[in-house]
Structure 1
């Protein structure tokens, strides 16, 4: 691994969560020559997906949660990140007063982990035990426990214990409300992080030609050379590849560790003139919800945004899309705007899972129908834990990826831990050991889901062993069309 100094030339590929957080913390640590390359102009678009930005980070909103089963290290890091989200909120609100704010980022709406069956699962019970050990069990409300219900009433959370009226309609409601959790506006948060990085001196090259990395090679002196689509070569002391779903295409060596996959997302547009629905699904009145995790449902939803967009995600299956990349068959993104082959549809199976969730839990929304769909592309790791390490046999090249659908919540603090690894201190830190380069079948923790997944503690390969012959390949799916958006 290279020995970097404060004046080392460092190039980061990708301006999403992993890239921009790393750039910010490198600059804060005193590194003065840090550049970020990205083929999308995330600055001009403010990361807004409606402005044509395609990445997992450029999303409407993401879940911030602290329920990690037995994985106490991720729970602690998420709890620390929450404090920094609070600081960012105060900074943004202060900037707003001066006319330069981006809008509130973090919303403490609570997170309702709702069972689709009649019992709480083992993961939920283990999470409660760990929160008891950490001294934060008092902020968790089991929805059919009399003492917890009373405490929720005292603290003003009772109205979020059963927003789907499941006890009234079905006679049973098994769930836990985490009153410490909520969501962040993803695109606004990335824009704010980029603003902070620029303020610290980080240079940005965000352009479809000048910022598009086409190759990373080794120069004659052993230093890495980054080639961009404009024909330029950028010699660096350290290259950090944080390209999200494009990472395996740039670093083929990660194929046994990382795979590009897509979650399925749909939205329902809530009209402003429906005051009943507008108020009910507002962040002040509605929590983040997951339904049927580890029970074969794997659906989540977030409160509506300021424009009335109610987002629902389906995570039961993560789709792949294989193409030829430098002689290898690698799963790559297929997005709405950036890729040569474009896609806005989701598989019919996923749409039907989302419609089932709405029909059972929010039947009043069925007349509105689905408003939009999209695939959310990111990288799953072999065990759902991040991969942050130097690439074996590639001096000066590191990979920083493997968010596995839950990395966004760590945006304010992730780069701090990445910097320690880049400085060669990975073996000395718990996260450096967890996120190291590893082989098949090794268990490094983590979870699975688009901002709200489940644990990977069983060491499974997370589908990476399937390859193109597996059942998750997008080309094998029946895709949902607009006519499928209506409820019958």
Structure 2
């Protein structure tokens, strides 16, 4: 592509903004980002959040190394300000749990600042004095000091500012109605309000709306929208100060993770797992596709999580912070991801359209790479991805023997959301002792 050609990026989230940023840094002069939401950051985007984990602990060495590059970039205060908080990330070690063992080995091999912790006393010392931590006497784990968390919404806002300062255009309130086509190639989009954006190249980066907003691409199996469960606890200022210097706690076995309190003294905890689907008949087609249920589509009702998930979160919280488990949940959220069957992202040209690039399927682990993921997309656009990386992210890559893809072949199958099993106010209260 010529750097003077028009690039249209649909979606002003993690993938879209990072792609715009890296293309602009490479000298591309006509970059436009549009988003369906009239308010940016979009209130229901996964990246619009109080915090996301920034960690390099991956069983896959590719992501471990890429995460360390991202962490180095997060420390650029000119670009990110105080978005990144290097609290450290504590991970329990479980005997025989392959992912955890490999993640630890990769951290050590990469030269991360690792503290191996053996026994309850050693583990308690990584938490502030006075914080009650429930740890079995024979517990083991490690603390990676090269990591922590990022104020997610602030990171998106700052990157939006940088994109516009570099000459990119960001246009909110432009939901796409259809692709414009000529000779089988995408030439832009027509929005629901009638606005037309022409483009030499269109990058689709719409997160968990990928399959449902564009059913004609038939991406339901490759890009499954799943709601992941989040709960929050409001601390007093005094409690916030007490827990402020805690590390992020990440349990790879249970999928539960917890943050130290943010500046508003809110403790967030969540489950990374198979999540929940909401399969509904698609408005644009006769297909039944998992579609996000959010605060935008369902108001406050879109924030409710299943009762079973709330119970798991509270039980796991009690295994780490027993005093916090006695407090009510102040809020919940279904945070919608786009999950690929193998949890690798989808980055690359559509196999049937050389003017359409996909940048999606964050699979619950994309935000930490906000500073660098757009570099991969830019490399894909320019044909510079190494073959092994290109095949890892290919839109049409196979996921099972003979290329057959089915929900049960996913690493962690999702459950269908049942509305009458969602939390009510009483479900947010602690269990009476």
TM over 0.5: yes
Q: How many residues align?
A: 424
Residue aligning to 2:235? 270
Residue 358 of structure 1 and its aligned partner are, at CA, apart by: 2.2
- Quickly say closer, same or farther: Cα 1:160–1:290, change in 2 above 3 A: farther
Equivalent pair of 2:4/2:29 in contact (CA under 8 Å) = yes
Contact 1:381 1:462 in 2 (8 A): no
The TM-score normalised by the length of structure 2 is 0.90
CA displacement at 1:234 relative to structure 2 = 2.1
Superposed, 1:83-232 pairs within 5 Å as 83-87=72-76, 89-93=77-81, 104-115=82-93, 119=95, 121-136=97-112, 139-144=113-118, 158-159=126-127, 165-167=133-135, 170-207=136-173, 211-219=174-182, 222-232=185-195
Give how far 1:484 is off.
0.8
Distance 2:277 2:392 in 1: 25
- Whether contact under 8 Å (1:264, 1:313) holds in the other structure is yes
Q: d(CA) in 1 for partners of 2:228 and 2:143?
A: 24
Q: Structure 1 residue 340: deviation in Å?
A: 8.3
Tell me the SS of whatever aligns to 1:438. Answer: coil
1:335-354 aligned at under 5 Å gives the runs 335-338=294-297, 343-354=302-313
Q: Structure 2 CA distance, aligned partners of 1:341 and 1:220?
A: 44
The alignment status of 1:240 with 2:237, answered yes or no, reads no
In structure 2, the partner of 1:451 is: none
Rounded to whole Å, the distance in 2 between the matches of 1:82 and 1:212 is: 33
Equivalent in the alignment of 1:472: 415
Counterparts in 2 of 1:423 and 1:221: CA distance versus 1, 3 Å: same
- In 2, the alpha carbon distance for the partners of 1:7 and 1:38 equals 22
1:163 Cα deviation after fit? 5.9
Shift, 1:160, TM fit: 6.1
- What is the Cα deviation at residue 475 of structure 1? 2.8
CA contact (8 A) 1:143 1:177 kept: yes
Q: What is the SS of the residue equivalent to 2:268? A: strand
5+ residue gaps, structure 1, are 94-103, 444-458
Q: Distance in 2 between matches of 1:197 and 1:486?
A: 43
8 Å CA contact retained: 1:333, 1:339: no
Contact preservation (8 Å) 2:255, 2:271: yes
Maintained 8 Å contact 2:338/2:364: yes
Task: Flag the 1:112–1:306 CA change in 2: closer, same or farther, 3 A.
Answer: same
* 1:385 lines up with 2:359 in the alignment: no
Is the Cα–Cα contact under 8 Å of residues 221 and 406 in structure 2 kept in the other structure?
no
Deviation at 1:382, TM superposition (A): 1.7
- Shift of the alpha carbon at 1:229? 1.1
**CA root-mean-square deviation:** 2.8
Change (3 A) 1:406 1:322: same
Q: Deviations over 1:181-201 (max 9, x none)?
A: 100000000001111111111
Alpha-carbon distance in 2 for matches of 1:162, 1:387: 45
Matched, 1:65 2:55: yes
Residue 298 of structure 2 is aligned to residue 320 of structure 1: no
Q: CA deviation at 1:162?
A: 11
Q: Does 1:437 align with 2:395?
A: yes
Deviation at 1:135, TM superposition (A): 3.1
**Partners of 1:72 and 1:161 in 2: how far apart?**
35
Offset at residue 365 of structure 1 (A):
1.9
Please tell me whether the aligned partners of residues 227 and 335 of structure 2 are also in contact (alpha carbons under 8 angstroms). Answer: yes
The whole-number CA distance in structure 1 between the counterparts of 2:316 and 2:146 is 24
Encode CA deviations 1:128-153: one digit per residue, 9 max, x unaligned: 322333333xx22221179x96xx99
Is the CA contact (8 Å cut-off) linking 2:226 and 2:274 kept in structure 1?
Answer: no
Unaligned runs of 5+ in 2: none
Q: 1:402 aligns with which of 316, 337, 361?
A: 361
| Cα deviation 1:231-266 (Å, max 9, x = unaligned) | 122221111110011111233332231111110000
